[in-house]
């Protein structure tokens, strides 16, 4: 057995190993921070999508006393592709986010609308909601 202690080289190698271990640990906190930020982004996107959906629900889509349909102009059928590109009347911008939506009558029943909202963030975070709306809920 050598009783000359560690050589400088050994010490440096050991330091390098300890450092890489510590770096891996530090990486964990960065990961946790990122995961937190990502979940916040998705929550925000979903909340914005719900908000838009509620706005679409607030437009008149009903029948009057005589039983004739009453439709708000904002609920006219949207052209195709409004979820993937900015089409006038079917998108709005909020700080950091783009909201796009589409209004499509069911092919089998034009009285029922399929409403879709897609919210996309700057870093590609997104949330998408779909619902159906009938002329009368009862």
Partner 1 sequence: MRRADGFSIVELLVASAVTLAVVAGISALLNPVQAAFQSQTEAADVEQRLRVAAQMLEADIAGAGSGPDRGVRAGPLGQTFPPILPFRRGSGADDPPATAFADRITLVSVPPAAPSTTVSGNGPPQDSDWLGVDAQPECPVSDPLCLFTADSAAVVFDDSANVDLIAITAVSSENPTPMLQHANQHLTFAAYRPSAAAVTGVSTVSYAIDHQASQLVVSSGLGAPDAPAADNVVALSFAYLVDPQPPNLTTYGPRPPPIDVQGPSLEWPPGENCAFAVVAGAHVPRLPVLGAGSTLLPMALAQFTDGPWCPDSSSTNRWDADLLRVRAVVVTLRVQAAIVALRGPAGLLFSVAGTGRDSNRWVPDQEVSFQVTPRNLNLERVP
Residues at the interface with partner 1 (CB under 8 A)? 3, 8, 11-12, 15, 18-19, 22, 25-26, 29-30, 32-33, 36, 39-40, 43-44, 47, 50-51, 54-55, 57-60, 62-65, 70, 72-74, 136-138
Shortest distance in whole angstroms from residue 6 CB to partner 1: 9
Give 64 or 88: the residue with its C-beta nearer to partner 1: 64
Give 26 or 106: the residue with its C-beta nearer to partner 1: 26
Shortest distance in whole angstroms from residue 2 CB to partner 1: 12
Other C-beta atoms within 10 Å of 126: how many?
A: 16
The answer to whether residues 136 and 62 touch, using CB atoms and an 8 Å cutoff, is yes
Beta-bridged to residue 100, according to DSSP, are 91, 118
């Amino acid at each position: 057995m050598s009783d000359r202690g560690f050589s400088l080289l050994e010490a440096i190698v050991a330091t390098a190993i300890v450092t890489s271990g510590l770096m891996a640990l530090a990486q964990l906190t960065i990961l946790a921070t990122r995961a937190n930020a990502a979940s916040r982004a998705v929550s925000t996107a979903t909340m914005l999508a719900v908000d838009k959906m509620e706005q679409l629900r607030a437009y008149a889509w009903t029948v009057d006393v005589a039983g004739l349909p009453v439709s708000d102009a904002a609920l006219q059928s949207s052209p195709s592709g409004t979820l993937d590109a900015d089409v006038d009347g079917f998108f709005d911008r909020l700080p950091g986010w783009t909201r796009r939506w589409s209004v499509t009558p069911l092919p089998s029943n034009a009285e029922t609308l399929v409403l879709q909202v897609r919210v996309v963030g700057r870093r590609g975070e997104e949330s998408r909601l779909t619902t159906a709306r009938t002329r009368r809920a009862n």
